[in-house]
Amino acid sequence: MKSVHIRTTSLIIIVFLTALSRLLPHPFNFTPIAAIALFGAATFPRKWQGLVVPLAAMLVSDLLLGFHGTMAAVYGSFVLTWTLGVLFLKKVTAGRVALVSLASSLLFFLITNYAVWDGSRFYPQTFEGLMSCYTAGLAFYNGQSFFLNGVLGDLTFSTLLFGGYYLLQQRFPGLRAAH
């Protein structure tokens, strides 16, 4: 029982520190949000903790960063990404983490840009308007692509979280899940 407590406490600390990294300067859309959702889904001993703890960590960082009109879409994407993690990361491998990270990047892009378009005064509420919104989301701003940055952020933070935790488990066997 003690090792489960140590493992859970370690995971909580890792998730909160990663979420707080959002406060550091970074390229647009290069964030740990999807990686935190996937990591929580794959690592917490109780699945509900893998959703609640990362959501709480994200909420704390958002309290410091501020909220915007599409927060429901961001949090909804987070929950769907967590669901992908629960479904596809029962066995964690580098290939699975990479594929699910890419899928979550696409999911986040589609959902959040749809939220920007829905009811927008900037885009006509037509299929063409929606496609214009998606195109704008792919576009470069000051040399940075919102979509590409999201993909790179998801892959980078997934690598850091899953790879770093794997290395910690090698050094501290008490962090390994009981079988």
SS3 per-residue string spanning 142-179: CCEEHHHHHHHHHHHHHHHHHHHHHHHHHHCHHHCCCC
**pLDDT on residue 141:** 62
Q: What is the pLDDT of residues 25-36, one digit of tens each?
A: 878 788 899 999
| Rounded distance between C-alpha atoms, residue 72 and residue 139, angstroms | 23
For 94-116, give the DSSP string: HHHHHHHHHHHHHHHHHHHHHHH
Shortest CA distance to 140 belongs to which of 29, 33, 23, 26?
29
Residue tagged 């909580």 (tokens)? 12
pTM given for the model: 0.89
C-alpha distances in Å from residue 168, one per residue of 7, 64, 84, 129 = 11, 29, 24, 48
Q: What is the pLDDT of residues 45-102, one digit of tens each?
A: 899 999 999 899 889 888 888 888 889 999 999 999 999 999 999 999 999 999 999 9
Q: What is the pLDDT of residues 137-161, one digit of tens each?
A: 887 666 667 788 889 999 999 999 9
| Domain membership of residue 165 as a residue range | 2-175
Residue 140: strand pairing partners = 145
> Can you give the CATH number for the domain in which 150 is found?
1.10.1760
Cβ burial of 29 (10 Å; 0-12, 13-18, 19+) is buried
Radius of gyration of the chain (CA): 17
Domain count of the fold of the chain:
1
Please provide residue 88's backbone torsions phi and psi, each rounded to the nearest 5 degrees. -110, -5
